[in-house]
Amino acid sequence: MKAAAFDYVRATSVAEACEMLRQDGDDVKLIAGGQSLTPMMAMRLTRPSRLIDINEIGALKFIAFGENVARIGACTRQSVVARDKALAAQVPLLRQALAWVGHVQTRNRGTVGGSLAHADPAAELPLVAQVLDARMQIRSTTGTRTLPAAEFFVGPLTTALAADECLEEIHWPMWTGHRLGSAFTEVSRRHGDFAIIEACAQIALDDEGRCTRANFGLGGGGTIPLAFPELASRLNGTLLEDAVLQDVAREAATELDPGSDLHASAGYRRHLAAVLATRVLRAAYEEARGKP
């Protein structure tokens, strides 16, 4: 399983990477962590004529905090994000999701941007991006644009990135309020495998225990991971009674159009979706309730 031959260049800056993308057209690919791209090349499912390596661009590897937003450089390693204490406090869903992502070896090399740009329908970081309404800062030779997650994920393994664009950084909104809870769970065949169904939720409560803000999402049940802000908004003002949570979860599950593959049938996926959405809403609520 040796890849087809290709040329290799290292970009030393984002600008340089974009310039290379612009020049060389459709037959080139950026390589970051390579955890998804390299196996596809080994199986000759994809055969770029040139790889542009962006791993050495320091400007793409950072974690910074702004006004209610955490900014992560696209080439920041997943393991670095998982270990970051400030992120764990401010954007807890990232660490919670990363506990389900692959294995230590893949997290040491895989990048946040790479996972998002790869856009596997069952991948964990894209689901978190959807639920938190993360913003993708995208660079090309003509400038920079920012896309919300909902516009970024277009289809299975397909994003809105143009052939000459490079994902530069991702902005993760930090919810305000001190009574926040979040949860991530999934069912997969084995630990670290792609999710059959994954779910995550984040909830904010006021001092009386009423929901002031909520969102949740499901992945693995369709072409892209989906957040359900409208359904979640029904929880605002409620005490998040279990019947209400279950209703909302069930309705979200009906909005999915899951496929069948050798690991799981559509029916099982739809069933799991309702179960897991309920569980993460409950768990997020429990965590928030436990905060002073």
Partner 1 sequence: MGFKLKTDLNPQNFRYIGKHRRTKEDPRFVTGRGRYVADIALAGMKHVALVASPYPSARILSIKTDAALALPGVHYVLTGEEFCAATDALAIGVDAPKVARYSLANGVVRYAGEWVAAVVADTRAIAEDAAELVEVEYEPTPHVIDPEEAVKDGSPLVHPAHGSNVILKKHFKWGPVEDAFARAKHKLSLRAVWGRSSTVPIETFGVAAQWDAGQQILDIWASIQMPKFPDQAARALRLPGNAVRVHFDVDVGGSYGVKRGIKHTVLVGYLAKRLGMPVRLIEDRLENMRGGDMHGPDRIFDMQIAFDHDGTLRGLKIRALDDVGAYAGRSPFQLGKPVTAICGPYRIAAIEYEPTAVLTNKTPEEAVRGFGQAPTNFALERTIDCVARHLKMNPIEVRRKNLIRKEEFPYLIPSGSTYDSGDYHTVLDKALNAIDYPALVKERDSARRAGKLAGIGISACLEPNGGNSGFEPLLNPKNDTTTWMDSCVVRVDLSGAITGVMGTSSSGQGHETLVSTVIGEVLEREPGDIRVVRADSLQALPSNSPVGSRMAIMLGGAAAGAARKIKDTLIEIAAHNLKCTIESIEYSEGNASVRGHPDQRMTWDELIAIAHRKIHQMPPGIEPGLQAKFVWEVPTGGKLPAADNTVQIYPCYSFEAHVVYVEIDPDTAAPVLRKYVCGHDCGVMITPDIVHGMTYGGIAHGIGAALYEKFSYTADGQLESGTFMDYLLPSAMEVPTITIVDHCTPSPLTTFGQKGSGEAGYLGAPAAIANAINDALAPINARIDTLPITHDALWQVIRGAASSRN
Partner 2 sequence: MSEKLYAVTLDVNGKLCTAHVPARLSLVDCLRDELRLTGTHIGCEHGICGACSVLLDGEPVRSCLMFAVQADGHKVTTVEGLANADGTPGVLQDSFCEKHALQCGYCTPGMLIAAHALLQIVAQPTDEQIREAIGGNLCRCTGYQQIVDAVKHAAARLANDNSSAADKRR
Would you tell me which residues interact with partner 2 (CB under 8 A)? 1-8, 31, 34-35, 38-39, 41-43, 51, 53, 55, 79, 102-106, 108-109, 191-192
**Cα–Cα distance for residue pair 30/33, rounded to 1 Å:** 10
Q: Phi/psi at 200 (nearest 5 deg)? A: -145, 160
Q: What are phi and psi of 66, to 5 degrees?
A: -115, -155
Looking at beta carbons only, is 12 or 142 nearer to partner 2? 12
62 is in the binding site of which of partner 2, partner 1, none (Cβ under 5 to 8 A by kind)? none
- For the bound state, the minimum distance from the C-beta of residue 282 to partner 1, rounded and expressed in Å, comes to 12
In the chain, % helix, strand, coil (3-state, to 5) comes to 40, 25, 35
265 binds partner 1 (CB under 8 A): yes
Q: State which of residues 148, 192, 229, 259 lies at the interface with partner 1 (CB under 8 A).
A: 192
* Nearest-approach distance from CB 196 to partner 2, in angstroms: 17
What end-to-end distance do the CA atoms of the chain give, in Å?
55
Residue with token string 């050495």: 56
User: Per CB under 8 A, which of residues 95..114 are in contact with partner 1?
Assistant: none
DSSP code for 278: H
Residue 106 touches which of partner 1, partner 2, none (CB < 5 to 8 A by kind)?
partner 2
Binding residue count for partner 1, defined by CB under 8 A = 24
Q: Which amino acid is at 66?
A: G
Q: Crossing angle of helices 242-254/266-289, nearest 10°?
A: 150
Tokens 């450089």 found at: 73
Q: Of 109 and 263, which has the nearer Cβ to partner 1? A: 263
Q: Would you tell me how many other CB atoms lie within 10 Å of the CB of residue 262?
A: 5
> How do 50-53 and 7-10 pair as beta strands?
parallel
Q: Measured from the CB atom, is 85 or 190 closer to partner 1?
A: 190
- Check binding of 5 to partner 1 (CB under 8 A): yes
* 85, interface contact from partner 1, partner 2, none, CB < 5-8 Å by kind: none
Closer of 25 and 39 to partner 2 (Cβ) = 39
According to CB under 8 A, which residues from 266 to 285 bind partner 1? 268, 271-272, 275-276
Nearer to partner 2, 29 or 270 (CB): 29
Q: 28-31 and 50-53 as β-strands: parallel, antiparallel, unpaired?
A: parallel
Residue 15 interacting with partner 1 (CB under 8 A): no
Q: Please, are residues 211 and 203 in contact by the beta-carbon 8 Å criterion? A: yes
State the Cα–Cα distance between residues 89 and 209, nearest whole angstrom.
21
Residue ranges in contact with partner 1 by CB under 8 A: 1-5, 43-44, 187, 189-194, 196, 262-265, 268, 271-272, 275-276
